[in-house]
Amino acid sequence: MHTVVVGTSGATASDVLAVARADARIELSEEALTALAAARGIVDALAAKPDPVYGVSTGFGALATRHISQELRTQLQRNIVRSHAAGMGPRVEREVVRALMFLRLKTVCSGHTGVRPEVAQTMADLLNAGITPVVHEYGSLGCSGDLAPLSHCALTLMGEGEAEGPDGVVRPAAELLAEHGIAPVELREKEGLALLNGTDGMLGMLLMALADLDTLYKSADITAALSLEALLGTDKVLAPELHAIRPHPGQGASAANMLAVLKDSGLTGHHQDDAPRVQDAYSVRCAPQVAGAGRDTLAHARLVAERELASAVDNPVVLPDGRVESNGNFHGAPVAYVLDFLAIAAADLASIAERRTDRLLDKNRSHGLPPFLADDAGVDSGLMIAQYTQAALVSEMKRLAVPASADSIPSSAMQEDHVSMGWSAARKLRTAVDNLTRVLAIELYAATRAIELREGLTPAPASQAAITALRKAGAEGPGADRFLAPDLAAADAFLRDGRLLVAVESVTGPLA
């Protein structure tokens, strides 16, 4: 099994995905253990002094003015976890919780939090045992960290609350820890606060969305090329010299991908209808411009994610010179913005894909295809309602594109008077990514059927590879009406797990 070694200098996106999605094992480096011990020594020294230090010997948030005596500090750390574990709503997905826990561990191991080495080791032990705290949908405002979600994770470290075992069954955390020989931790000065104060949930969801969208944008280039082909469009608009004079990197990459898919097509450029076209419709002709802008948005979001991965997000932080200083680095604005940007780009990509699908189904605009791609139009409805489903998904994605980060709501008696709503931005992006996959799957299903209905014309080899693989995956070709949902589900699974990309790249080579 793959092992991820956690040091002091952050983590990579592939590390996070390996832990979150592939259950990679975690080891703490000697460097991290040394840094943990050194920072803890600084916190212990401050805790022994009579002067109040935020997070070490004071209350939290709006209660930070109270100095806490030494005999109450263990209770203080325990209480912050219990009181902040106040989430509500449906459970958050296992992969999200694992990413959340790993990213908090990454920051803990930076040597800037003051957490003891044994607490960090217990965090790693929980992940390695496959124990996943129950975290709820609502409870984070994306500021002062993803407080409620991280608190539910810290509660499990203490042997309290509920968690899911490796068998998928939710049980009391104390039972699961005992079964795996993990001793619950008793938190000391600053440790409770350090376990709660990070942007880890929103960052984990951003990293997973980036991985999924990377595949989806390549898939969108493929489905756009298939639709162009099915509509007898021209590939001349994809010429590299046209995109070189507007040098957005994503646009050039998207056009190159479409051109590679359409190589040697017998359908492009025919215009075999009674109303010859000078130009194809925007949804066909401008596909690289729209998908390309989304690709460039992905690139910016990836840059932000990489910076956040290299960060130690906590408040207060332990500095190398021995100071423990308060700060505002827990504010989620940088991550929240790009989460919202990605939802906007995904909605627009879905919108243009739906327009191409509708064009394929409309006999007045499809250039010779049967109405709704039906076998016997009137007796058969063909893909009429598949497009309804696609339209409903796109409409939902437009609502999800309304930015969460433009909102704020004050909390903690006005101490925390401006928040990022980054967790909410991340949650809606996950739904948007899921829906984008379904939208592209419907375009794929419609475009492949339309190509097969173009009798006497030979599709590009890459297009044929996609069609053949899709049919083998259980999404049937043209014919009389049948129960359509299973076909759409097969197309969705085929695109979602990357088989479409594999089939096309077996002909084209790697797409950009």
Give the residue numbers marked as catalytic: 54
The helix or strand, by DSSP H or E, that contains position 324, with its residue range, turns out to be: strand 324-325
Torsions phi, psi for 206 (to 5 deg): -60, -45
Please name which of 338, 329, 112, 115 lies closest in space to residue 213, comparing C-alpha atoms.
338
Angle in degrees, CA 387, 390, 391, rounded to 5? 90
> How long is the chain?
512
- Cα gap 195→148, rounded to integer Å: 11
* Residues near 146 by beta carbon (within 8 Å), at least 6 away in sequence: 100, 140, 198, 199, 200, 201, 202, 332, 422, 423
Specify which residues 377 forms β-bridges with.
380
- Cα gap 41→31, rounded to integer Å: 16
- Cα gap 192→83, rounded to integer Å: 11
Q: How many CB atoms lie within 10 A of CB 245?
A: 6
The helix or strand, by DSSP H or E, that contains position 338, with its residue range, turns out to be: helix 333-361
- Cα gap 337→425, rounded to integer Å: 8
* Residues near 418 by beta carbon (within 8 Å), at least 6 away in sequence: 143, 408, 410
- Cα gap 468→53, rounded to integer Å: 66
Q: Please give the full DSSP string across 166-211, using - where no structure is assigned.
A: TTS-EEEHHHHHHHTT-PPP---TTHHHHTT-S-HHHHHHHHHHHH
